[in-house]
Amino acid sequence: MPTKNPRVNVVLEEPLYEGLSRWAKRDGVSLSLKVRDLVKDALESQEDRALALFAEEREQSFDRKKALTHEQIWSHLKQPKR
């Protein structure tokens, strides 16, 4: 039965494969599911790093004199009272 999800083939060194297999068995999941979860975690970690760098850059260029208040930003969304 074909699957909807794309597949990836990976070649691992024997020690890495054995460790991964033990880890999957310990957690009661398939090797495929364990690899998928590890890749997902790695991608989320990379995204967190990228966002942290972006935030640092924004902090360095922040000028309080040019900053808008919460009220100034969101006031246009307030609906008039009836």
Q: Is the pLDDT of residue 6 over 70?
A: yes
d(CA 22, CA 24): 5
Polymer length in residues for the chain: 82
pLDDT band at 3 (very low <50, low <70, confident <90, very high): confident
pLDDT tens readout for residues 28-69: 999 999 999 999 999 999 999 999 999 999 999 999 899 989
Look up residue 20 and give its amino acid: L
AA identity, residue 6: P
Query: Can you read off the two tokens belonging to residue 1?
Result: 């039965």
**Which of 3 and 18 is assigned the larger pLDDT?**
18
Determine contact, residues 34/16, Cβ cutoff 8 Å.
Answer: no
18 confidence band (pLDDT: 50, 70, 90): very high
